Structure 1
Amino acid sequence: MESQTVEYKSDIPIKSNPFKAEIVAFLNTNDGTIFLGFDDDGTFIPEKIDQYKQWESWISDWIHSAFNVPVQKFVTIEVSAQNFAIHIKQGDKPPYYYKDGEGFNSKGIYIRNGSSKRRATDDEVRRMLKAQVANEFESEPSSVQKSLTFHYLQDKLLDNNIVFDSKGLRLQNIDNQYNNGALLLSEQNSRATKIAVIDGLDMSADFLAKKEFKGSLIKQIDMTLEYISLLNDRRVSFTGAAARLEHESYPSKAIREAVINAYAHRDYSLSADIKVEVYDDRIEIFSAGGLPDGLSVADIKEGISAQRNPNLVHVLDKINYIENFATGIRRILASYKDFDKEPMFIVTPNQFKVILYNRHYALVDDEKQGWVNNNLKKNLSEAEQLELGFTPQDSPLENDTMVADVKQYIDANDEKIIKILTLNGDKSRQEIQDYLQESKTKVHQRLTKLIELNLINKRGQSRAIVYFVNANERK
């Protein structure tokens, strides 16, 4: 039965372009096989055996000269007593087309669509051409040559006992010119990472902070991970035996994999920056370009991969940022296996977006009840705790009690002050007042309270006073 990967043909027609189009369709879409000498329902036609030799001769000539490029590495012929099969692998540089005169033959570009072929639309042809440019971008000569420096990359290599070698790292082409991949890894890289922290669930809410990082991609990766770590709250819980367990808002492995993947596999032929948007309930990570080589979200979840930037991946592998084993997406999914909302992967032709959900966001009400329970337990005997269903502790949980006590005295705006200072560094009272839109007296009261609770501190005198978060509150 004919399908996306199987085509039956009884013969090669005198006008052979329609048959060549069948080969082109598989080259442009997916692996497949054309069986010659069979009816459309797959029934073998014995009288066609005498034509096997002629067919083999024609097709052998075609794969060298009938298409826009030789395709012999993608097409093989299998001939036996009752079988003539043409096995076709998906090509690595579409669009492919059969020749019809001189020059580019857009009418000869076909794709596979279910159990038949169809001519590719203009948009589909453009996407194929753009993907080809994207896949070659990092190897093209850089517009900047003489002034490139690689201090940050060199330090990372030294940390891994590797000597900087521009050719070994694939930063230079055969003619000793630096390529675009080298520019991306240099201090002269002009592409940026932009991070926005939003005080709510969508862009209609206020911004808590904005950051922009430039320079070497390796440095941007490090700074992005470090900044997101400031937002990754850790909540502490205790077992019945008073064992301490820490739960992150976002699994560190998921953040690391999502961020590094955004840099490693994006389309650098597009001018868009890497973007990270942090909302109360999620983090969204945007990178330019869809999935390469026709992959789908289902494919990448199963571990199927294609490298758009093999040279960059090679460097990241050398400095142990990635394993180069196509496990990133599966690691992200595995880190959320015990959470009810699975990470999302949204793909368009020009963008790849990862959404990681805040595992603490849904626990806010439960945590509030937990603080109430902890305070109630302090006033109950062990027998009363057991009767009410509480788990008695072997020893006082001083840290847990301290957190519960602190939470009694601060509200949402107090927490915003702590978050603003954590994300932005030192801030004056006026800057905090402008954000909260509260009176000078009210903000002063809040700052004084937070200092008394040892959550923030201040330095300077008079109008030069600024407030900052205590070191132990940054995590």
Structure 2
Amino acid sequence: MNNILISFLLLNGLVMESQTVEYKSDIPTKHNLFKAEIVAFLNTNNGTIFLGVDDDGIFLPEKVDQYKQWESWISDWIHSAFSVPVQKFVTLEVSAQNFAIHIKQGDKPPYYYKDGEGFNSKGIYIRNGSSKRRATDDEVRRMLKAQVANEFESELSIIQESLTFHYLQDKLLDNNIVFDPKGLRLQNVDNQYNNGAILLSEQNSRVTKIAVVDGIDMSVDFLAKKKFNGSLIKQIDMTLEYISLLNDTKVFFTGAAARVEHESYPSKAIREAVINAYAHRDYSLSADIKIEVYDDRMEIFSAGGLPDGLSIADIKEGISAQRNPNIVHVLDKINYNENFATGIRRILASYKDFDKEPRFIVTPNQFKVVLYNRHYALIDDDKQGWINNNLKKNLSEAEQLELGFTAQDNPLESDIVITNTKQYVDANDEKIIKILTLNGDKSRQEIQDYLQESKTKIHQRLTKLIGLKLIDKRGQSRAIVYFVNANERK
């Protein structure tokens, strides 16, 4: 809202007090009460305090004579009355009928007004609706923790010796970049490594955990568990590669000549969500990156809320903030991100033709992205093949055979068809393929123990999958193991 419009609305009493607007007729005798109003905005959100107006925002002409005194007091305060000078966040706008104090949210809360020497917890206020209130101890702790989180990667590392960067160096060479610790912001002028350097080294102690769940909640068994460690860049690569094994592609036919391949999860959405989880997480917290893959969705967890008081709405509008600018800088160098704060908007755009939009769930200690499986709504074990009768009757017998249509197929009432090479594969057959894909070689007994079916039934399933060239086996007698066919893995 521009200043001319604000002044017009004020003169006509059309602006109400709110989270971003406060009215004051005068500066109180106890100046700290007014300083607390400024602090509340510094700690919470951008806003404006209008002086010389009544509670309804109506201009009080008798207060104009005090404008000069107010301006002098406030100009002194913003340099010396708060925990740090705040002139870059506070600006005054003074005219014949308007005295406005425009305040931006500070980048290193908590802010407080001074009352003697040292830390003044009683001077820490936050904005709550159309008024201020003193911050609770928990809120102060969260603000302090957030400040630590935003500075963590640039602080000097307690480990300075024996750091290796082989994986990062290979990535840089792929992009014709020479490994330069200072240029990559991993060392200071005294050749000392920061915490960001440890995260990108082979000595990084943080890990990534992935769980693949056989169902839609944690009440059922895991199909697979994985843990990746080492350099942050290596963990990103291994995570994306592993998740790609779960990202099935189905083929849609909308007419005899129209073919569209459709992934369970848009690859772009996965890549953006995963890289953002590493780039923007709070590394001062000990929690690991965690990914849970269910039948109907994928949930990606990273430690820490949004930096610098941002909201999801802010990010959707393109407003950005970086908790780990040094790591983002390195990722940008090796082309892992574009450094333009477009991640969430890209994720949403990749789901624009799907009826369930990705979810972003934020708490002070965690950021979670939920991506939905676009094939889940199409799964029905009793209706194999997903045949479109209108399309089928327009195809020759040879074309029907090529697409996998059979005489026994039951057509569905739909204008869209989905077919794939697994026409004769039921839900438990799919689980065998997924178990082998995610875990590598397995014996018949291990597969039988998981599916809880008879030895004969498992043998029939394995024989069928080998016949369809979806899996293969090697070894002899009790040493036989089964594995996913190389073409199927692709």
Shorter-chain TM-score: what band?
A: over 0.9
One-letter amino acid matched to 2:160:
Q
Distance apart, 1:372 and its partner CA: 6.5
Asked whether 1:298 is paired with 2:313, we answer yes
Which residue is equivalent to 1:193? 208
- Deviation per residue, 1:371-404 (Å, 9 max, x gap): 2647xx7xxxxxxx68xx8544697155421897
Distance 2:212 2:349 in 1: 26
Secondary structure of the residue aligned to 1:135 is helix
Distance apart, 1:462 and its partner CA: 2.7
One-letter amino acid matched to 1:315:
V
Q: Which moved more, 1:409-418 or 1:317-326?
A: 409-418
**Relative to structure 1, is the Cα distance of residues 237 and 304 closer, same or farther in structure 2, using a 3 angstrom cutoff?**
same
Which residue is equivalent to 1:83? 98
Identity of aligned residues (%): 86
Q: Which moved more, 1:192-201 or 1:6-15?
A: 6-15
Which residue is equivalent to 1:341? 356
Distance apart, 1:37 and its partner CA: 1.8
Indicate which of 236, 241, 245 corresponds to 1:230. Answer: 245
Kept in 2, the 8 Å contact 1:240–1:392? The answer is no
**Relative to structure 1, is the Cα distance of residues 358 and 391 closer, same or farther in structure 2, using a 3 angstrom cutoff?**
farther
Distance apart, 1:170 and its partner CA: 0.8
Distance 2:181 2:473 in 1: 48
Distance 1:406 1:298 in 2: 42
Distance apart, 1:369 and its partner CA: 4.5
**Relative to structure 1, is the Cα distance of residues 184 and 192 closer, same or farther in structure 2, using a 3 angstrom cutoff?**
same
Asked whether 1:169 is paired with 2:184, we answer yes
**Relative to structure 1, is the Cα distance of residues 119 and 319 closer, same or farther in structure 2, using a 3 angstrom cutoff?**
same
Superposed, 1:445-456 pairs within 5 Å as: 445-456=460-471
Asked whether 1:317 is paired with 2:320, we answer no
Superposed, 1:31-430 pairs within 5 Å as: 31-365=46-380, 369=383, 371=385, 373=387, 390-392=393-395, 396=399, 399-401=402-404, 407=422, 409-430=424-445
**Relative to structure 1, is the Cα distance of residues 408 and 166 closer, same or farther in structure 2, using a 3 angstrom cutoff?**
closer
Kept in 1, the 8 Å contact 2:384–2:424? The answer is no
One-letter amino acid matched to 1:341:
K
Distance apart, 1:242 and its partner CA: 2.6
Kept in 2, the 8 Å contact 1:248–1:359? The answer is yes
Secondary structure of the residue aligned to 1:77 is strand
**Relative to structure 1, is the Cα distance of residues 435 and 67 closer, same or farther in structure 2, using a 3 angstrom cutoff?**
same
TM score, norm. by length of structure 2: 0.90
Which residue is equivalent to 1:30? 45
Asked whether 1:435 is paired with 2:450, we answer yes
Distance 1:405 1:154 in 2: 41
Distance 1:114 1:449 in 2: 65
Distance apart, 1:114 and its partner CA: 1.8
Distance 1:239 1:62 in 2: 69
Q: Which moved more, 1:356-365 or 1:393-402?
A: 393-402
One-letter amino acid matched to 1:432:
I
- Deviation per residue, 1:12-65 (Å, 9 max, x gap): 222200010111011111111222222222222223222222222211211111
Distance 1:407 1:163 in 2: 47
**Relative to structure 1, is the Cα distance of residues 391 and 4 closer, same or farther in structure 2, using a 3 angstrom cutoff?**
farther
Which residue is equivalent to 1:458? 473
Distance apart, 1:298 and its partner CA: 2.3
One-letter amino acid matched to 2:385:
W
**Relative to structure 1, is the Cα distance of residues 408 and 86 closer, same or farther in structure 2, using a 3 angstrom cutoff?**
closer
TM score, norm. by length of structure 1: 0.92
What RMSD, in angstroms, separates the aligned Cα atoms of the two structures? 2.1
Kept in 1, the 8 Å contact 2:385–2:405? The answer is no
**Relative to structure 1, is the Cα distance of residues 410 and 354 closer, same or farther in structure 2, using a 3 angstrom cutoff?**
same
**Relative to structure 1, is the Cα distance of residues 40 and 322 closer, same or farther in structure 2, using a 3 angstrom cutoff?**
same
Distance 1:402 1:206 in 2: 34
Which residue is equivalent to 1:380? none
**Relative to structure 1, is the Cα distance of residues 437 and 134 closer, same or farther in structure 2, using a 3 angstrom cutoff?**
same
Kept in 1, the 8 Å contact 2:291–2:298? The answer is yes
Distance apart, 1:405 and its partner CA: 9.5
Q: Which moved more, 1:442-451 or 1:98-107?
A: 442-451
Kept in 1, the 8 Å contact 2:384–2:423? The answer is no
Which residue is equivalent to 1:382? none
Which residue is equivalent to 2:32? 17
Which residue is equivalent to 2:7? none
Kept in 1, the 8 Å contact 2:387–2:405? The answer is no
**Relative to structure 1, is the Cα distance of residues 20 and 391 closer, same or farther in structure 2, using a 3 angstrom cutoff?**
farther
Where in structure 2 are there 5+ consecutive unaligned residues?
1-15, 407-418
Secondary structure of the residue aligned to 2:102 is strand
Kept in 2, the 8 Å contact 1:455–1:470? The answer is yes
One-letter amino acid matched to 2:262:
H
Distance 2:377 2:386 in 1: 18
- Pairs aligned (count): 463
Secondary structure of the residue aligned to 1:91 is coil
One-letter amino acid matched to 2:210:
I
**Relative to structure 1, is the Cα distance of residues 406 and 27 closer, same or farther in structure 2, using a 3 angstrom cutoff?**
closer
Distance apart, 1:406 and its partner CA: 6.4
Secondary structure of the residue aligned to 1:371 is coil
Distance 2:424 2:51 in 1: 80
Distance 1:66 1:180 in 2: 34
**Relative to structure 1, is the Cα distance of residues 89 and 406 closer, same or farther in structure 2, using a 3 angstrom cutoff?**
closer
